[in-house]
Amino acid sequence: MRKPTLLVVDDQPANIQVLHQIFKADHEVYMATSGEQALAFCASQLPDLILLDVIMPGMSGHQVCSQLKSDVRTRDIPVIFVTGHSNPKDETEGLRLGAVDFIPKPVNASIVRARVHVQLMLRQSLRQVQDLNETLEERVEQRTSELQQALLELRQSQDDLAHSEARATLSTLIASVSHELGTPLGNGRMVASTLAQQTQAMVQELRSGQLKRSALDAYVGQVSDGVGLLERNLERAVELLGNFRQVAADQASEQRRVFSLSTVVGEILHSLSPSLKHQPHRIEVDIADDIVMDSQPGALGQIIINLVNNAYLHAFEGRAHGVLTIGAQLDADQVTLTVADNGIGMSPELLDKLFEPFFSTKIGKGGTGLGMAIVQNLVSKALGGRVSVVSTMAQGTRFELVFPRVLPG
Ligand SMILES: Nc1ncnc2c1ncn2[C@@H]1O[C@H](COP(=O)(O)OP(=O)(O)OP(=O)(O)O)[C@@H](O)[C@H]1O
Ligand SMILES: [Mg+2]
């Protein structure tokens, strides 16, 4: 820390000597024996404070003070008058000229130290405030642009996440559909190989010329059962694949197309059914058949998947018979899609944070807290609509999505 600098101005060297003694230990003390000398000193160097005698030959203390106060360079230097006699008129004049304090002669060491200290502290605080003010605007500007940049990055990463979420959903779909396809294809293979064995046996009997009528009847019966079984299993496989293909194509693309709302919702739920069917809950769908959309089915699918997953994961946690109701209505070319569960509901505090990215009550237990942020993003960006929610603790949660039947643009 640099020592504060004082300028002591007095025509009497003895008076200067006294003040020098008082301050020399912890101040840098400069001296001037006339007003002219004091001003010359200030022209080259700015002291932190001036102790100024009032009555001096040549320039008076008052003249020196008014000169200092009229110069922008020196006007902020605090001036304390050291007065020989207490004269209210003089003091008033001194104040008018901008002095900050008066000290009577002969000076008392502790009083003069205390007053000088106060003024130096004030001056230092003032300087800090001024410095702060000067940099404040700059800092606000810099902060604002940093925040704007951060916001931009956040939006970007939210979009990226929506994409990666779509990819993740796709790979979950692929996994569950390939698993699901295993059953009908395995059944089919078993039926086919049983049929092959039975046919082989039949051929041998035929060649040996010992074929009995009853054996032929039995064989025909087995073949037609087997073929029926084969057909049903293959149909199931084709159906699974067909659903999957459409959902996958919608997920993978951001294309808009014309589609039936009830069909697409049905396909999505169907593709989710392998992972949901082992749960004791059910989904009721009430969507009019004739709502024909021209919009982005991939986004719609993602939204429904996230809401259904949340109902099963959060709302129905620990419940035996959850019911999720999905309904839709068309009114003046606006679609209102509702997804309502009769689950645990949400507290007002939870509801406040629901759409915040990374907010999850299952962090570390499989939740990333992005599901609802993505829902909100997709409803507004991809479907051109908005989402609202009402929830009652212990009764359930109802999401309402309103979006145009035909996406504008
Ligand atoms: N239908 C619901 N009923 C009750 N609570 C819910 C429901 N939907 C969401 N929540 C609460 O809101 C939180 C945020 O949901 P969100 O889908 O954003 O994240 P998450 O499901 O925890 O994680 P993920 O990113 O895997 O979806 C959940 O952690 C849960 O506490
Ligand atoms: Mg979720």
Does ligand 1 come within 6 angstroms of the Cβ of 199?
Answer: no
CA 281 to ligand 1 centroid distance, Å: 18
CA 327 to ligand 1 centroid distance, Å: 21
- CA distances 155 to 14, 245, 352, 369, Å, are 74, 30, 20, 16
Q: What CATH number has the domain bearing residue 355?
A: 3.30.565.10
Does ligand 1 come within 6 angstroms of the Cβ of 315?
Answer: yes
Quick one: pLDDT at residue 283? 96
Number of domains in the chain: 2
CA 345 to ligand 2 centroid distance, Å: 14
Q: Is residue 235 part of a domain?
A: no
Q: Is residue 349 part of a domain?
A: yes
> Which tens digits make up the pLDDT trace of 319-372?
999 999 999 999 999 999 999 999 999 999 999 999 987 788 987 776 777 789
> Domain residues for 46?
5-107
* CA 246/CA 173 separation, integer angstroms: 12
In this predicted structure, the answer to whether residue 92 has a pLDDT above a threshold of 90 is no
Q: Which residues are within 5 Å of ligand 2 (an ion), measured at CB?
A: 310, 371
Does ligand 1 come within 6 angstroms of the Cβ of 344?
Answer: yes
Write out the two tokens for 175.
């996994």
Cβ neighbors of 80 (< 8 A, separation 6 or more) are 49, 50, 51, 52, 99, 100, 101, 102, 103, 115, 116, 119
Q: What is the mean pLDDT of residues 216-227?
A: 87
User: In the listed set 70, 86, 107, which residue is the last one of a domain according to the structure?
Assistant: 107
pTM of the complete model? 0.53
CA 362 to ligand 1 centroid distance, Å: 8
Q: What is the mean pLDDT of residues 184-197?
A: 87
Q: Is residue 404 part of a domain?
A: yes
Average pLDDT, the chain: 87
Q: Which ligand is nearest to the CA of 377?
A: 1
Q: Is residue 322 part of a domain?
A: yes
Write out the two tokens for 236.
């199931």
Write out the two tokens for 337.
């899609």
Does ligand 1 come within 6 angstroms of the Cβ of 367?
Answer: yes
Q: Of 52, 82, 56, whose CA–CA distance to 68 is shortest? A: 52
Going by pLDDT thresholds of 50, 70 and 90, the confidence category of residue 254 is low
User: In the listed set 71, 91, 107, which residue is the last one of a domain according to the structure?
Assistant: 107
Tell me the best of 351, 372, 390, 398 to mutate to test the pocket of ligand 1, counting ligand atoms within 8 Å of each CB and taking the most: 372
Tell which atom from ligand 1 comes closest to the C-alpha of 366. 26
Does ligand 1 come within 6 angstroms of the Cβ of 314?
Answer: yes
* CA 179/CA 173 separation, integer angstroms: 10
Does ligand 1 come within 6 angstroms of the Cβ of 360?
Answer: yes
User: In the listed set 90, 107, 124, which residue is the last one of a domain according to the structure?
Assistant: 107
Q: Is residue 141 part of a domain?
A: no
Q: Is residue 382 part of a domain?
A: yes
Q: Is residue 155 part of a domain?
A: no
Quick one: pLDDT at residue 296? 92
Name the residue with the closest Cα to ligand 1, atom 8.
Answer: 310
Quick one: pLDDT at residue 252? 61
Q: Is residue 226 part of a domain?
A: no
